[in-house]
Every structure is written in C-alpha cells, then in structure tokens.
C-alpha cells in the first residue's frame, strides 16, 4: 500500500506558475510545495547544518593571518595564538554587532580594566 501523498495543495496552479526558481525564496517555495513534510524538514535541516559548518577557506586564511602576526611579533606569539583561538572557538568574530564581545568586556570589568 502506498503512503498518502503529502504534497501541498497548489490550488490548480502548476508549480512553474508559482515559482520560476530565480531566487532562494522561489526555490524554497517550490520545495515546500513539491516535497512531503518530512522531506522538506530534512532539506531545511541540511541547510542549517551547512550554514553552521566552518568555511575551510576562511579558517585557512585566519590561520595564515595568525601565523603572520606571530612571525612579526614573536614575543607576543603565545598571547596572539591564545586570543585568536578564543575568538574563533567562541564565535564572537562571526557576530555582526558588539554584543559578541560581551565575554571580553565582562572579563575586562572583572579584572578592573577600562572598557575599550
């Protein structure tokens, strides 16, 4: 016995009438209409996981920058590496606003230092 078709109702419109596939919104709409709820959920989860994955090229570039700073400031090399690892691991360098720096500001206040 074949499971029921869970495709979305298109109200008499062909899918190509609803979406021409030229934008992310159009493609998302087509997927929502054509896939079962479970399939669509898997596609959305895949997109989320891929968006959260680190971009290898950016990590390589960051590593080259860190190595360059260490080479130019060898006395500060351990501090540079430590700070870089903190910023990358915590993800604050990927934040668009100043809220990402809250961990650093909190430590500075606890140590009695001044704000930027």
Per-residue pLDDT for 2 more than 50? no
- The most confident of the ranges 16-30, 37-51, 70-84 is 70-84
pLDDT for 45 equals 87
Per-residue pLDDT for 15 more than 80? no
Phi, psi of 38 (to 5 degrees): -65, -45
Per-residue pLDDT tens over the stretch 69-116 = 999 999 999 999 999 988 878 777 776 665 656 666 666 666 666 544
Reported pTM: 0.42
């Amino acid at each position: 016995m074949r499971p029921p078709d869970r495709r979305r109702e298109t109200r008499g419109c062909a899918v190509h009438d609803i979406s021409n596939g030229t934008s992310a919104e159009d493609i998302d709409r087509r997927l929502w209409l054509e896939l079962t709820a479970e399939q669509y959920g898997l596609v959305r989860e895949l997109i989320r996981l891929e968006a959260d994955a680190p971009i290898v090229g950016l990590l390589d570039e960051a590593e080259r920058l860190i190595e360059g700073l260490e080479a130019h400031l060898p006395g500060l090399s351990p501090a540079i590496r430590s700070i870089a690892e903190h910023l990358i691991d915590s993800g604050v360098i990927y934040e668009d606003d100043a809220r990402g720096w809250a961990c650093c500001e909190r430590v500075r206040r606890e140590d009695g230092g001044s704000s930027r």
